[in-house]
């Protein structure tokens, strides 16, 4: 029998990822699973191939703590006491950090949006979602916004 003990929900604070979070919360409640919420602060690779360091300077520990709190507050007040939730904030390339978090924590399922902040309607699935589906060590449930209709090119 499949038992979901740990669920990972990547959140970029877009409408679609917050919609996916509702599914993740519901599944976590039904399965009594630990729910990890991850947000990745995107870093960029410059022409020299070095990870730009300025992000580190801009984001101090206080801001990272604020992001963790923000993640936790996405879970509705009335549900929060009934669910074990752990916020994760990482810096890096979103799909890499999401897959790494799933591996390190041996999660049973990833629940994420099909689209993110760009919300491009002509694409079937966003690049972060596509890469996570390809590389994840576990099943991935990708959730589309009901209003988001894919129009054939």
- Which residues are 10's β-sheet partners? 38
33 or 38, CB closer to ligand AMP? Answer: 38
Q: Measured from the CB of residue 44, what is the shortest distance to ligand AMP in angstroms? A: 12
Answer left, alpha or beta for residue 49, where phi above 0 means left and psi between -120 and 50 means alpha.
Answer: left
- CB 45, min distance to ligand AMP, A: 15
Tokens of 93: 């390339």
Using Cβ positions, the residue closest to ligand AMP within the complex turns out to be: 126
Q: Cβ(51)–Cβ(90) under 8 Å?
A: no
Smaller CB distance to ligand AMP: residue 3 or 44?
44
Residue number with CB closer to ligand AMP (34 or 111): 111
Assess contact for 83 and 113: CB atoms under 8 A.
no
Nearest distance from C-beta of residue 127 to ligand AMP, angstroms? 5
The whole-angstrom separation of Cα 77 and Cα 66 is: 17
Question: How many Cα atoms occupy the beta-carbon half-sphere of 4 within 13 Å?
Answer: 23
What minimum distance in Å lies between the beta carbon of 1 and ligand AMP? Answer: 27
* Closest distance to ligand AMP from the beta carbon of 95 (Å): 8
d(CA 17, CA 135): 19
* Between 14 and 100, CB nearer to ligand AMP: 14
Q: Which is nearer to ligand AMP, 81 or 153 (CB)?
A: 153
Terminal CA-CA length for the chain: 41
The binding site for ligand AMP (CB under 6 A) comprises: 10-12, 14, 16-17, 20, 38-40, 42, 94, 112-113, 115-116, 118, 126-129
């Amino acid at each position: 029998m499949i038992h979901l003990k740990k669920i990972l929900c990547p959140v970029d604070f877009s409408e679609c990822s917050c919609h996916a979070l509702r599914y993740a919360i519901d599944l976590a409640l039904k399965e009594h699973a630990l729910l990890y919420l991850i947000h990745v602060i995107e870093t960029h690779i410059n022409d020299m191939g070095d990870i730009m360091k300025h992000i580190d300077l801009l984001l101090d520990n206080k801001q990272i703590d604020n992001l963790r709190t923000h993640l936790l507050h996405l879970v509705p007040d009335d549900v929060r006491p009934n669910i074990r939730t752990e916020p994760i904030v990482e810096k890096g390339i979103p799909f890499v950090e999401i897959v790494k978090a799933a591996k390190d924590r041996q999660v049973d399922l990833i629940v994420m949006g099909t689209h993110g902040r760009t919300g491009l309607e002509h694409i079937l699935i966003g690049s972060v979602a596509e890469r996570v589906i390809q590389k994840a060590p576990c099943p991935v449930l990708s959730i589309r916004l009901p209003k988001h209709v894919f129009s054939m090119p």
